[in-house]
Structure formats: C-alpha cells, structure tokens
C-alpha cells in the first residue's frame, strides 16, 4: 500500500546505520543507501545526515519519520479493513490447535478446497490438552471452539461427540534415543521380545484393546503397562525416563526430542479425523459436509 522505501527510511532512522538497517531488512547496505537516496530525490530534501558515527535524520527527515510511521500503520489498517469487508457474511469456524492435536492438516485441506469462494472463514484457537484439561475442551466444543483434529478411536469421543473420519493412522512406537532399538528403520515382533510397551489402559479405545489382546495371546514375552488414558507431555516424559517403548503415532514424532518414532510390522491402527460437538451448528455442519465431499473425491 505504501512505498517500501518508507520502511527502509524508518529502519535507517531508528537504527542509525545503513548496515544495521540492511541486516534488519535482509538486503545489502548498497540497496539500503540507494533506496534512501531515491526517497530523498523524490521528496526533494535531504532526509539523513551521513557521518563516520552513523546516520541521523535531518529536521526534515525527523518530520517525515513521524508521518511515515503513521502512514505504515494506516496502510496496514486499510488492508485489514478491506479483508474484513471481503469476509462480511462469512461464518467463522473456530478450529482448535494444541501440542498433540495440531490443526495444520485441516488448514491445508481447507486452503486447497476453499479458494476463497465458500462462505466460511477459519479462526485458529489454541487449547490446552494437557492432563485432565482435555475433558474440559471436549465439553467446550460448540461454545469456545467448533472442532479439532486428532485420533478419534476413544469410546468417549464416539459416545459424546460427533466425528468426521478422515483416515486410519498406523500405530508406531516412540523409542527412547538411548534404547537399543532407536536406530532401527522398522520393528517387528522378534525385536520386541523382552521389551515393555506402554499404552492406554484397557477400555479406552477398542483398537488398542485388540492390540493388547494380540500381545497377550501371541506375544507373552512382551510386557504391557498402562499409561494415562489420554496422552499429554507427561506421558512422553515418563516413557523417556523409564526407557520404555510407548505406543504412539507418526503425528507425534516431533513432540519429545528424547524419543524417536519407529514404524512397526503390525496391523494396529487408530482412526483419525475431526472431532466436534454432537449437535453441530448449521454452519459447522455445512463446513464439515464440504470437507467430507473433498476427502471423498480426493482421499
């Protein structure tokens, strides 16, 4: 909206140096000097005094500096106002995001689908999914936020919430970096003999109950211990501290720097999708229908 030479002039005046302004703007000092010279020619007055001690605004430059700052602010406000006007009439979908349930995939999907034509605008809302606070988030769906992405296999999700399934995620193992299996590209049951696996207690998710049953019946040399019913950072910390393998997902591979996530040659998967209130609002229902249509056409 405004002449970018004003931004350069402001940086030079505030930092007192062409070199510092160049570093702040990720350009060369020569480029900065050329922009200031061009601005002076355009205005018709000297704006800065150059010396061995740095650069300082002239009286005329000081006046322009104050007005330039206001012009930059007004320009940003004008752009924001124009964008708000363009969004008039669009329904806001509040998408939750957290450490273990990031929203990036949904935002990417919506950007690919939307193209600016559909009557929705996404607003990202951070929420706390650590410890028991996840349950508070579930009860807030429909009031403080509309939906979030994550594993959807838990009984409580299916019983109390609405779910739009997207795909199945393979269960993998988060392995402490000093563990003997941390360097493996893929694990199988032979690798897991004598190992201890940490996973959610029985009754939380049927898919993980089936994994437990398979271990008990076919792999008695593998020990299973309970974690919390819903993972948070404390779960990953505990696995790392104990040197225990944690049943995990690829989406959590970067959650804890002390763990590496390794695929396993088993059939265990967890469903993954969008969680929302059991009775979504009309505009959320329309949004979910648009997402469902897109994922059906382009799985």
pLDDT band per the 50, 70, 90 thresholds, residue 127: confident
Report the mean per-residue pLDDT for the chain. Answer: 88
Q: Give the start-to-end residue ranges of the domains of the chain.
A: 4-86, 91-166+272-297, 168-271
Instruction: Supply the pLDDT for residue 245.
Output: 98
pLDDT band per the 50, 70, 90 thresholds, residue 62: very high
Pick one of 3.40.190.10, 2.50.20.10, 3.90.230.10, 3.20.20.100 as the CATH number of 91-166+272-297.
3.40.190.10
pLDDT band per the 50, 70, 90 thresholds, residue 111: confident
- Provide, for the chain, the percentages of residues in helix, strand and coil under a 3-state DSSP scheme, each rounded to the nearest 5: 45, 25, 30
Length of the chain: 299
CATH 1.10.3720.10 corresponds to the domain 4-86: no
Instruction: Supply the pLDDT for residue 227.
Output: 93
- Report the relative pairing of strands 91-97 and 120-126 from DSSP bridges: parallel
Contact 244, 89 (CB under 8 A): no
Q: pLDDT, tens digit, for every residue of 143-171?
A: 888 999 999 999 888 888 999 999 999 99
Contact 205, 178 (CB under 8 A): no
Do the domains 91-166+272-297 and 168-271 sit in the same CATH topology, yes or no?
yes
Q: pLDDT, tens digit, for every residue of 177-198?
A: 999 999 999 999 999 999 999 9
Is the per-residue pLDDT at 296 higher than 80? no
Q: Bridge-partner residues for 146, per DSSP?
A: none
Q: Could you tell me which CATH number the domain at 168-271 has? A: 3.40.190.10
Q: pLDDT, tens digit, for every residue of 212-233?
A: 999 999 999 999 999 988 898 9
The half-sphere exposure of 78 on its side-chain side, counting CA atoms within 13 A, is 8
Instruction: Supply the pLDDT for residue 133.
Output: 74
Is the per-residue pLDDT at 298 higher than 70? no
Question: What predicted TM-score, i.e. pTM, was given to this entire model?
Answer: 0.68
Burial string for 109-126 (b: 16+ CB within 10 Å, else e) reads: bbeebeeeeeebbbeebe
């Amino acid at each position: 909206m405004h002449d970018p030479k004003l931004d350069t002039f402001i940086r030079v005046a505030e930092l007192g140096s062409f070199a510092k302004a160049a570093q702040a703007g990720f350009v060369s000092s020569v480029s900065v000097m050329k922009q200031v010279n061009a601005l002076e020619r355009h205005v018709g007055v000297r704006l800065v005094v150059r010396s061995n001690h740095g650069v300082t605004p002239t009286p005329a430059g000081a006046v322009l500096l104050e007005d330039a700052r206001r012009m930059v602010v007004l320009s940003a406000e004008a752009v924001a106002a124009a964008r708000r006007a363009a969004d008039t009439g669009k329904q806001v979908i509040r998408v939750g995001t957290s450490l273990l349930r990031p929203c990036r995939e949904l935002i990417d999907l919506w950007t690919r689908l939307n193209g600016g034509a559909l009557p929705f605008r996404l607003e990202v809302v951070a929420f706390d999914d650590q410890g028991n606070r996840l349950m508070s988030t579930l009860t807030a769906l429909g009031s403080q936020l509309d939906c979030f992405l994550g594993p959807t296999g838990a009984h409580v999700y299916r019983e109390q919430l609405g779910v739009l399934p997207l795909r199945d995620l393979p269960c993998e193992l988060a392995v402490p970096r000093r563990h003997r299996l941390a360097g493996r590209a893929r694990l199988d049951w032979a690798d897991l003999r004598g190992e201890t696996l940490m996973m959610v207690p029985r009754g939380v998710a049927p898919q993980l109950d089936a994994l437990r049953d398979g271990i008990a019946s076919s792999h008695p040399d593998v020990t299973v211990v309970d974690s919390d019913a819903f993972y948070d950072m404390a779960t990953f910390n505990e696995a790392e501290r104990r040197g225990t393998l944690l049943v995990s997902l690829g989406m959590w591979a970067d959650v804890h720097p002390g763990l590496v996530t390794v695929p396993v040659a088993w059939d265990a998967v967890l469903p993954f999708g969008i969680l929302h209130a059991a009775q979504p609002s009309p505009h959320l229902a329309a949004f979910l229908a648009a997402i469902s249509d897109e994922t059906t056409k382009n799985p």
